[in-house]
């Protein structure tokens, strides 16, 4: 049995070892700030929230991980709430990346100085729920005559723990295939829908001159997100159903995934970037037309649409045995220690359901709509008519599957990153590497 309180002392070490990934940490250009707010402090030190004016209002402290333009959008959301609620003041505080927020949250909870509401990267929800520090939101939903049915099902995979509703979706995304259709059209190629088609298209797009690659077929950031997607596409699961081991290391699924990637890499069809700044590197390659097919977050659709000089389209991640994709981004949760739960819930309810709340944020930021009412709204329908690439991202949610759901995910993710590095960078034997990974994961899961 894992010690529920061990979360408060062990995870900062684990998180410091993780690379940026939407399997567990933020995706490049998604929540990473374009510029860091001047008030942000060092990662290990929780940014102190501004002191609210003493007006007799209920004060709600809200920690989040939205920087750059998304920080502006969230500040606007909070301002709209405060202006429409004269008895509540929400104080929003940017706490850095997803991982930095998690580390600060642990320290604050241990010191009994946690916020009332916090943003959590969706894969870390179970981690905190297991420590009994997250509020069960079901009674709050019922008090507002709401139910879980109002949310898009594809985003609810990380919202429950032990039959309790402990978080709600907010800034959510999925990986998707971004395509330079101009390059494909020049070669008479169709957008790939299967792995076999992906291999043929990627190999056909390669341009090599004087021993140097001038253009690659496809690329993806250094990240566990994309191999996890491919594991599901090949018919596997990241964790076994009983959560006692992994579900792809010794049944041929992991071998197929990484052999497919290595074969593409060896032919120049796949550019696999260095770990450092991999998102920025691959984003720029796609913008510059140096790659035709790009696995990246849906959170990049808005930025690409505004700057690329070619016919840009999005498409589902290609299937092997089936279409499948994990979700990413973050949820919001109320801490069970919240000082005024009624006021905290009112902010969450408004943010999730009021047209002036989450809907406006989604329209501005480019994240995916997370309630059925948003999907049916005139605003979203008009947006999709104008920018069909965004609708593709939503339509792909019908194939959303999250099989990396575990209290032990942060530790296991570290090991999976190490295995990915050994295979993709060092060309270590795939099956031997996966067997070593499985052995270490089994040890972690047995704690």
pLDDT, one tens digit per residue, over 154-208 is: 899 899 999 999 999 999 999 999 999 999 999 999 999 999 999 999 999 999 9
30 vs 93, which has greater pLDDT? 93
Per-position b or e across 416-444, b if 16+ CB within 10 A of its CB: bbebbebbbeeeeebeebbebbbebbeeb
Reported confidence tier of residue 14, pLDDT bands at 50, 70, 90: very low
pLDDT the model gives residue 48? 60
Rounded percentage of the chain residues whose pLDDT exceeds 70: 88
Reported confidence tier of residue 410, pLDDT bands at 50, 70, 90: confident
pLDDT the model gives residue 1? 41
pLDDT the model gives residue 372? 97
pLDDT the model gives residue 47? 62
Angle at 102 between CA 98 and CA 105, to 5 degrees: 135
Reported confidence tier of residue 25, pLDDT bands at 50, 70, 90: very low
pLDDT, one tens digit per residue, over 303-346 is: 898 899 999 999 999 999 999 999 999 999 999 999 999 999 99
Cα distance between residue 62 and residue 38, in whole Å: 18
User: Which contacts of 108-113 are long-range, i.e. CB under 8 A and separated by 24 or more positions?
Assistant: 108/46, 109/8, 109/133, 109/335, 109/337, 110/8, 110/9, 112/337, 113/46
User: Is-contact 221 28, C-beta < 8 A?
Assistant: yes
Cα distance between residue 247 and residue 235, in whole Å: 10
Q: Taking 90 as the threshold, does the pLDDT of residue 224 lie above it?
A: yes
Cα distance between residue 274 and residue 221, in whole Å: 8
Average pLDDT, the chain: 89
Q: Taking 50 as the threshold, does the pLDDT of residue 24 lie above it?
A: no
pLDDT, one tens digit per residue, over 259-306 is: 999 999 999 999 999 999 999 999 999 999 999 999 999 988 988 988
User: Is-contact 160 169, C-beta < 8 A?
Assistant: no
- List of residues 6+ apart from 163 with CB closer than 8 A: none
Q: Classify 176 as helix, strand or coil.
A: strand
pLDDT the model gives residue 49? 57
Domains of the chain: 4-173+329-376 (3.40.190.10), 175-325+404-445 (3.40.190.10)
User: Is-contact 305 179, C-beta < 8 A?
Assistant: no
Q: Taking 80 as the threshold, does the pLDDT of residue 34 lie above it?
A: no
Cα distance between residue 351 and residue 90, in whole Å: 11
pLDDT the model gives residue 123? 87
pLDDT the model gives residue 366? 82
pLDDT, one tens digit per residue, over 342-363 is: 999 999 999 999 999 999 999 9
DSSP string, 414-429: HHHHHHHHHHHTT---
The most confident of 21-30, 87-96, 401-410, by mean pLDDT: 87-96
Q: Classify 290 as helix, strand or coil.
A: coil
- Arithmetic mean of pLDDT, 15-38: 38
* DSSP structure class, residue 196: H
- List of residues 6+ apart from 304 with CB closer than 8 A: 178, 286, 287, 312
CA atoms within 13 A on the CB side of 220: 25
49 vs 397, which has greater pLDDT? 397
Q: Taking 60 as the threshold, does the pLDDT of residue 80 lie above it?
A: yes
Q: Taking 50 as the threshold, does the pLDDT of residue 39 lie above it?
A: no
pLDDT the model gives residue 46? 57
User: Is-contact 73 363, C-beta < 8 A?
Assistant: no
Beta bridge partners, 179, equal 293, 313
End-to-end CA distance of the chain: 6
Angle at 398 between CA 397 and CA 401, to 5 degrees: 75
User: Is-contact 246 441, C-beta < 8 A?
Assistant: yes
- Arithmetic mean of pLDDT, 113-126: 94
């Amino acid at each position: 049995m894992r010690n529920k309180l061990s979360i408060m002392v062990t995870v900062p070490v684990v998180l410091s070892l993780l690379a940026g990934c939407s399997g567990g940490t933020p995706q490049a250009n998604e929540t990473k700030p374009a510029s860091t707010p001047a008030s942000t402090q060092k990662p290990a030190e929780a940014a102190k929230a501004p002191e609210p004016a003493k007006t007799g209002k209920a004060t709600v402290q809200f920690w989040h991980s939205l920087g750059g333009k998304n920080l502006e959008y969230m500040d606007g959301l909070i301002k709209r709430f405060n202006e429409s609620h004269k008895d509540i003041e929400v104080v929003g505080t940017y706490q850095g990346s997803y991982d930095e927020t998690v580390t600060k949250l642990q320290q604050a909870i241990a010191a009994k100085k946690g916020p009332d509401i916090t943003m959590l990267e969706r894969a870390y929800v179970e981690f905190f729920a297991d420590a009994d520090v997250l509020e069960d939101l079901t009674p709050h939903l019922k008090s507002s005559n709401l139910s879980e049915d109002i949310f898009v099902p594809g985003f609810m995979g990380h919202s429950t723990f032990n039959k309790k509703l402990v978080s709600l979706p907010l800034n959510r995304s999925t990986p998707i295939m971004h395509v330079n259709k101009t390059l494909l059209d020049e070669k008479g190629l169709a957008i790939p829908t299967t792995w076999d088609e992906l291999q043929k298209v990627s190999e056909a797009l390669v341009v090599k001159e004087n021993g140097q690659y001038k253009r690659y077929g496809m690329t993806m950031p250094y990240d566990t997100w994309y191999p996890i997607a491919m594991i599901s596409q090949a018919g596997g699961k990241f964790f076994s159903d009983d959560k006692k081991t992994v579900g792809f290391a010794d049944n041929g699924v992991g071998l197929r995934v990484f052999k497919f990637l290595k074969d593409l890499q060896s032919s120049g069809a796949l550019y696999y970037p260095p770990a450092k700044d991999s998102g920025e590197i691959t984003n720029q390659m796609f913008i510059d037309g140096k790659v035709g097919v790009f696995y990246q977050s849906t959170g990049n659709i808005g930025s690409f649409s505004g700057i690329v000089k070619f016919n840009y389209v999005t498409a589902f991640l290609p299937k092997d045995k089936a279409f499948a994709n994990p979700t990413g981004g973050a949820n919001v949760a109320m801490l069970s220690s919240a000082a005024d739960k009624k006021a905290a819930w009112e902010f969450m309810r408004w943010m999730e359901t009021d047209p002036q709340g989450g809907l406006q944020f989604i329209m501005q930021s480019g994240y995916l709509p997370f309630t059925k009412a948003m999907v049916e709204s005139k605003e979203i329908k008009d947006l999709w008519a104008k920018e069909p690439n965004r609708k593709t991202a939503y339509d792909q949610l019908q194939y959303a599957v999250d099989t990396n759901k575990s209290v032990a995910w942060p530790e296991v993710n570290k090991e999976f990153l190490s295995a990915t590095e050994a295979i993709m960078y060092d060309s270590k034997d795939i099956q031997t590497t996966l067997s070593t990974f499985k052995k270490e994961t089994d040890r972690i899961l047995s704690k």
